[in-house]
Amino acid sequence: MTSKLDQLKAVTTVVADTGDIDAIARLKPVDATTNPSLLLKAAALPRYARLLQEAVAGCDGDLGLACDRFGVAVGQEILKVIPGRISTEVDARLSFDSRATLQRAERLIGLYEQAGIGRERVLIKIAATWEGIRAAEQLEKAGIQTNLTLLFSFAQAVACADAGVYLISPFVGRIYDWYRKAEGRDFTGAEDPGVRSVTRIYRYYKANGYPTVVMGASFRNLGQIEQLAGCDRLTISPELLQQLTEDQGPLERRLAPNQPGEARQTLDEAAFRWQLNEDAMATEKLAEGIRLFARDQERLEALLAKL
């Protein structure tokens, strides 16, 4: 019997959720994703010391630019060991400013292109706020493809598909965390709220012919991953990828394009904000996620300021 990782790779594109190049090279995912928290962890690794110094050089105290340069430098290193694409995130503090998000995304793509990396190998990560989705819509029209992150609600998924974004990242584990705390009980298998959320979105997209890629993210255990086998993509931490490598049990495909889904719907801004407001979990986790990424962005800036 082949490993569960190999079985998963047969039905789902596997993405590494890390900035650790050694782990990526060992586990051989197709794509990789980073975010401010992962970049902060990467900054502590000795192999990135030179990249930190280079990121600061010539920035004239512009720590936002230094962070972008470091994120792109890490992305370049990761692209050397994967065949696919790297996702690089816009500063979370711009999550409610469409114009600023557009400008930062264009700068990130420009930095990659200056390094000889074509935009076809990069996804720009943006929080799935109304403003972020609108920025992504414009970027997609300009030929810059996006990964809408911090996605917790069906309303966010509907709006992203209508905006023509390339990829969404529903956060399975964080949804699970919220419901586990709120209801005081554990969830397993298909009843896991995070699994149910991604399953619903995947089936909705396929039933209505949306090309937007669904990439489940933020996993807490192998059971969540196994329940989503067949999803377009799954971005998985090195620890869970290693567990999948070591597990030789059978893996059943759970999601497939021909499964039934809900009727197509369209949300204007008022409907989007209302539906998001009505979902306490999504409202809280989106706000929390933006705050956490913003704090890690600030910690990275503080680290760069000392160099």
Per-residue confidence (pLDDT) for residue 52, from 0 to 100: 96
Q: Which residue in 162, 118, 125 sits closest to 143, CA to CA? A: 118
Decide: helix, strand or coil at residue 165: coil
Please write the tens of the pLDDT for every residue from 188-205: 999 999 999 999 999 999
Contacts of 85 (CB under 8 A, 6+ apart): 31, 32, 120, 121, 122, 123
**Measured distance CA(162)–CA(133) in Å, rounded:** 10
Per-residue confidence (pLDDT) for residue 173, from 0 to 100: 98
Active site residue 306: no
**Measured distance CA(240)–CA(174) in Å, rounded:** 16
Please write the tens of the pLDDT for every residue from 287-300: 999 999 999 999 99
∠ CA 222-20-236, nearest 5°, is 20
Q: What does R_g of the chain's alpha carbons equal in angstroms? A: 19
Please write the tens of the pLDDT for every residue from 206-229: 999 999 999 999 999 999 999 999
Average pLDDT, integer, range 181-185: 98
Long-range CB contacts for residues 264-273, cutoff 8 Å, separation at least 24? 264/208, 265/158, 266/158, 266/162, 267/155, 267/158, 267/159, 267/162, 269/130, 271/155, 272/130, 272/155, 272/156, 272/158, 272/159, 273/130
Decide: helix, strand or coil at residue 220: coil
Task: Read off the pTM.
Answer: 0.96
Per-residue confidence (pLDDT) for residue 256, from 0 to 100: 98
Taking the mean position of all CA atoms in its chain, how far away is CA 267?
23
Per-residue confidence (pLDDT) for residue 255, from 0 to 100: 98
Catalytic residue, candidates 4, 80, 125, 181: 125
Per-residue confidence (pLDDT) for residue 34, from 0 to 100: 92
**Measured distance CA(78)–CA(116) in Å, rounded:** 14
Burial of 25 (0-12, 13-18, 19+ CB in 10 A): middle
